[in-house]
Amino acid sequence: MSKIGIIGFGKVGRIRAKSIEKYNGNIIGVYDTDINSDECEYTLYSDSTSLIDDSDIIFICTPNKYNYPLTLESLNKNKHVFCEKPPAFNAKQILEIRIAESKSSSKLMYGFNHRHHESITDMKNIIDNGDYGKILWMRGRYGKSVDENFFDGWRSNKELVGGGILLDQGIHMLDLLIYFGGYFDKVKSRVSNQYWKLDGIEDNVFAILENSSNGVVAQLHSTMTQWRHLFSLEIFLEEGYITLNGLKTSSGTYGEEELSVLRKNPNKTGEAISEVNKVYKVDKSWDYEVSHFLNSIVNKNSINYGTSNDALNVMTIIDNIYENGKD
């Protein structure tokens, strides 16, 4: 049985461990500088390199700064790697990782668990069916409220986090927009830190994205000055629209995850006919994602979601958003 190591055993690392155990994964140990052996049900390693050396599969659940070097180290040692988002600080680092990946026989997958929500799968199936025509435009809003306790955590440390709300949370919405609309080669943006005023850590990002190959335009707003937690994804097609409001998350703060599918009413301008209204009570995305990764290793299948190419696409657009959004 493959030996699995987890680097970073905070909230996300523990969530991943539970999913791994559901698929009978053999967790041989973890590494985390902020816990001691009394707080850990697994063997606690004293350094990450020893854990990588002893493992066949590495899960990286660390602050952003360490994702790139730990992924690179693991691939260079021919280990299978699952790494949380963001995959790196920029697209250049992803290009280096792709070189290491090409020289390795290992699997590499990045944790964009939002793609694995059942609501997102249903949206994708409806769109791919073609009954509502082509996508015209999309709008994604993903935001939360933070207070002054935010300054006490690692996400307020530019050296560790690499950026603000876009790298922290907006990256998930951007990945979904790419998933549905394809690669966006045109970017207009505004990046702001006018409220919390942390250097290099934005509290708002507004972006207009365009895919010139299919004409799809997407609007993205990522924020931590919304004063409430909100997730909203709207996709407008030729014959109707699909909305997903709320999201089942580990924090439980985004409300009910409700999908509505509406067809435009040919008889009344400005009205629509509701065809589907579904609420998702359970978030199985973490389990589905880990299952996809582990099965790809066992069955020697391709990684279909969270590939290094997906990572390159999202980080290239993030680079463009940051560059375009400067004052």
**All structural domains of the chain:** 3-113+287-306 (3.40.50.720), 118-282 (3.30.360.10)
* Better-predicted residue by pLDDT, 149 or 58: 58
pLDDT digits (tens, 9 = 90+) for 231-274: 999 999 999 999 999 999 888 899 999 999 999 988 888 888 88
Query: How many other C-beta atoms lie within 10 A of the C-beta of residue 268?
Result: 9
Q: Over the chain, what is the mean pLDDT?
A: 95
Query: How many other C-beta atoms lie within 10 A of the C-beta of residue 169?
Result: 20
Q: In the predicted model, is pLDDT for residue 104 greater than 70? A: yes
Beta strands across the sheet bearing 186-192: 186-192, 204-210, 217-223, 135-145, 225-237, 240-245, 257-264, 272-280
- How high is the pLDDT of residue 327? 64
Q: Which DSSP category does 124 fall into?
A: H
pLDDT digits (tens, 9 = 90+) for 173-184: 999 999 999 999
Taking the C-alpha atoms of residue 3 and residue 182, their distance in angstroms, rounded to an integer, is 36
Beta partners for residue 29, in sequence order: 5
Question: What confidence category does residue 84 fall into, taking pLDDT thresholds of 50, 70 and 90?
Answer: very high
Helix (H, G, I), strand (E, B), or coil: what is residue 135? strand
Which residue is it, tokens 């006490």? 152
Q: In the predicted model, is pLDDT for residue 222 greater than 90? A: yes
Helix (H, G, I), strand (E, B), or coil: what is residue 107? coil
Taking the C-alpha atoms of residue 224 and residue 205, their distance in angstroms, rounded to an integer, is 10
Helix (H, G, I), strand (E, B), or coil: what is residue 58? strand
